[in-house]
Chain A
Amino acid sequence: MSDAKLLRDELRKKYLEFGLEAMSDEEVVRLVLSLSCNEFDSFTEKLIEGFGSLKSIEDADPQALVRYSDIGERSAVLFRMVSEISRCLAVKNVKKGVYLRTTADAKSFFAPLFTDHREERLAVVCLSSRLKAVAPASVIAEGAAASVRASCRRITALALDLKADGVIIAHSHPSGKAVPSSGDCASTELLASALSRFGIALIDHIIVAADDCVSLRETDIPLSFRDRECFGYKITKLL
């Protein structure tokens, strides 16, 4: 049995018996690289020498990883997957069980879903009558499909499925300002009307841009959705 195979088996045994917590950064890097190449021992030394830690390697620009150490795209993908999947799951898991009682709460709630994305995105959170999120926020649409009007049916279906009393939606203006367009206002009214047929309130519509975040409930724009039930949802500014 080759040295590489012996080392690989040893690392796997340690991981399976004691978990990653018992392993040093160097051992974890070796273990990961052993999935994709035979020269994992020498590549590990080079990576740790250049980047210092597992986290820095996972945070590294993949092209820089490949250039610095010649590890190849096959191995670089594995490290990139860790940071990308973690980020993906962290955003997705925000934030079941929180209360969104004010416009400031809603803005803080939705901001993380948009900071890492450059395309338009539409997200929704379903609430109880006590303004508690009944499920994690759902991303309804991305890119060209991220229009409130086009997603009315999906939003309504989700709210019905989760037995929601209210809904807050948010969409992004990635390359523009957080200024509600006439289209944004019209689709807000349309959605509010659609939801109200089933006893569900559209509580707010948040628009997120690179440097600002606006709640349509806070604006002076004449919108009838504000006259409907909102379970005591308040307008407050972020400190």
Chain B
Amino acid sequence: MGKGSIHSGHRDRMRSRFLTLGSGGFSEHEILELLLFYSIPRANTNETAHALIERFGSLENVLAAAPEELMTIKGIKSESAFVIRLMHDLCKRYSATSDVSADLSDDEKLEGFLTEYFSENHGNVCLLLDMTPRGELRSTKCLPTSSLLSGELGSREIAELVVRNGFVRVVIGQCIDGDKCIPDASCYSLTRLFAETLAPLGTELHDHIICCSGKCFSMRKNGSFSFGSGGNHE
């Protein structure tokens, strides 16, 4: 087996592990090692990642370092410095609009969050809000509505996502086109899909909120759907 194959096998495994576990399963130097895959082909980036952490102290400091400083580390050339700088700027842009741990414990806060999200992120998507029972936002996952309605993302795929991420309580925020913020037949079929998928997993489907033109329609509040919860109930 050639050296290239050894590296590519390792890289594939690391990427798959990251996609499955997220950053929780990775140390800071491993995240850097993974990032350097995109600028250093067919070489072990582990040592370089360690050297970066040793020199700058933390992942945050590495990302914030000037390219000239980064290139003083053995193995870091202009392409790696570019990728690190780009990741820093992408994270900064993402963080400016991110509300992890936001308190969404009442309808007003929840609808306000979704209205703001969809005012800046236009698209026919379903945003799954992963919430704690106390109403804090843990994470968000975006799914294209078309994939859900066509069956490309069905019960099995949704269940895998829920189990993989440990969802306890889910709110669906769905952005639709048009002027009227009322659920149509496709909205109800999505509610049914999620309700039937989540119930056997013991994950609560708390609400399905339709968002359109700055307005929100909560199926729970309006009694449009009977939300069971795999055990919990209002």
Given the interface contacts A53-B123, A115-B136, A210-B132, does A78 sit within 8 Å of B23 by beta carbon? Answer: no
A50 contacts B153, C-beta separation under 8 Å: no
A18 to B125 alpha-carbon distance, docked (Å)? 30
Kindly supply a per-residue 1/0 record for chain B positions 216-229, scoring 1 wherever the CB is within 8 Å of any chain A CB and 0 otherwise: 00000000000000
Q: List residues 35-93 of chain A with CB under 8 A from any CB of chain B.
A: 35-36, 48, 50-64, 67-68, 73-74, 76-78, 80-93
Interface-central residue, A67, A85, A90, A118, by most chain B CB under 10 Å: A85
B15's contact among A19, A32, A74, A82, by CB below 8 Å, is which? A74
B181 contact set on A, CB distance < 8 A: none
B133 contact set on A, CB distance < 8 A: 210-211
B23 contact set on A, CB distance < 8 A: 84-85, 87-88
A84 contact set on B, CB distance < 8 A: 18, 22-23, 31
B127 contacts A59, C-beta separation under 8 Å: yes
B178 at the interface (CB under 8 A from A): no
A115 to B169 alpha-carbon distance, docked (Å)? 12
A63 contacts B157, C-beta separation under 8 Å: yes
Kindly supply a per-residue 1/0 record for chain A positions 135-171, scoring 1 wherever the CB is within 8 Å of any chain B CB and 0 otherwise: 0000000000000000000000000000000000000
B74 at the interface (CB under 8 A from A): no
A82's contact among B24, B87, B168, by CB below 8 Å, is which? B87
A226 contact set on B, CB distance < 8 A: none
A163 to B158 alpha-carbon distance, docked (Å)? 49
B132 contact set on A, CB distance < 8 A: 115, 210-211
A86 contacts B168, C-beta separation under 8 Å: no
A86's contact among B94, B101, B123, B153, by CB below 8 Å, is which? B94
Given the interface contacts A80-B19, A82-B91, A115-B101, does A56 sit within 8 Å of B121 by beta carbon? Answer: yes
A111 at the interface (CB under 8 A from B): yes
B134 contacts A80, C-beta separation under 8 Å: no
B68 at the interface (CB under 8 A from A): no
B98 contact set on A, CB distance < 8 A: 83, 86-87, 90
Residue of B nearest to A12 (CB): B82
A118 contacts B166, C-beta separation under 8 Å: yes
A68 to B144 alpha-carbon distance, docked (Å)? 8
What distance in Å separates the Cβ of A91 from its nearest Cβ neighbour in chain B?
8
B34 at the interface (CB under 8 A from A): yes
Residue of B nearest to A50 (CB): B144
What distance in Å separates the Cβ of A114 from its nearest Cβ neighbour in chain B?
9
A21 contact set on B, CB distance < 8 A: 93
Residue of B nearest to A36 (CB): B38
B89 at the interface (CB under 8 A from A): yes
A51 contacts B95, C-beta separation under 8 Å: no
B60's contact among A67, A89, A115, A211, by CB below 8 Å, is which? A89
B89 contact set on A, CB distance < 8 A: 19-20
B66 at the interface (CB under 8 A from A): no
Residue of A nearest to B24 (CB): A117
A112 contact set on B, CB distance < 8 A: 100-101
Residue of B nearest to A79 (CB): B90
B83 at the interface (CB under 8 A from A): yes
B138 contact set on A, CB distance < 8 A: 115-116
Residue of B nearest to A174 (CB): B166
What distance in Å separates the Cβ of A168 from its nearest Cβ neighbour in chain B?
18
A31 contacts B94, C-beta separation under 8 Å: no
A28 at the interface (CB under 8 A from B): yes
Q: List residues 117-147 of chain A with CB under 8 A from any CB of chain B.
A: 117-119
Chain A interface residues (CB < 8 Å from chain B): 12, 15, 19-21, 28, 31-32, 35-36, 48, 50-64, 67-68, 73-74, 76-78, 80-93, 111-112, 115-119, 210-212
Can you name 11 A-B pairs with beta carbons within 8 Å? Answer: A32-B90, A35-B86, A51-B123, A52-B122, A55-B120, A59-B142, A63-B157, A64-B161, A68-B153, A80-B19, A82-B94
